[in-house]
Structure 1
């Protein structure tokens, strides 16, 4: 289950103005864990817990480096999950979270601004 939210967080990190670069991956994973069901196509919509966790994560962002670090954590976790872009890309709108870049498992964390 932990790997599931890691991958989900990775995907969502693209969506967010992510937290401090010093935020450890386990903390990032914990915030996104509830989103894995939707991102893998198992749940019909993101849960309130998913959206709340992502909004909390977004509020921790202090810099572009923070966003990149969180993205890296999420991308690392996503490798072991079956995250589907068609669901992942819908999370920002479903959770009413604005991001300035496309959300995808193929996002290059190093190009996030």
Structure 2
């Protein structure tokens, strides 16, 4: 009985820790879905970011709760940029065009690990 009580106490402590400190970073499938409408502009095929692009990025910005979220979003966007032929000269214009302050330089060359 004493071991069961101790085990339950340990489990509850662990769950409390996870609830307060273990929030997962934003997953790439969420980032990809919210940023998908921006590909046309970021590849140079559209003259400006679409309203859907800006809406998706605003929604994505609202999911940011921590620096880890920012880093995760950055990593996801960089991975997608490589496979989609994103051009830095267009990518870097999206925050201003969509009126979004991301707090770090938007570039395919951004070091996601230095974001704070």
TM-score between both structures, scaled by the size of structure 1 = 0.78
Is residue 2:72 matched to residue 1:31? no
Q: Aligned partners of 2:89, 2:25: CA distance in 1, in Å? A: 30
Query: Is the radius of gyration larger for structure 1 or structure 2?
Result: 2
Give 5+ residue unaligned stretches, structure 1: 1-19
The Cα RMSD (Å) is 1.2
Residue in 2 that maps onto 1:85: 88
Q: 2:97 aligns with which of 90, 94, 98?
A: 94
Residue in 2 that maps onto 1:43: 46
Q: Aligned partners of 2:62, 2:28: CA distance in 1, in Å? A: 16
Contact 1:89–1:103 (CA<8 Å) still a contact in 2? yes
Residue in 2 that maps onto 1:105: 108
TM-score between both structures, scaled by the size of structure 2 = 0.77
Aligned-residue offset at 1:52: 0.2
* Runs of 4+ with >3 A deviation: none
Residue in 1 that maps onto 2:59: 56
From the two aligned structures, give the one with the greater helix fraction: 2
Cα pair distance change 1:109/1:21, threshold 3 Å = farther
Query: SS of the residue aligned with 2:71?
Result: helix
Q: Aligned partners of 1:47, 1:39: CA distance in 2, in Å? A: 11
Give 5+ residue unaligned stretches, structure 2: 1-22
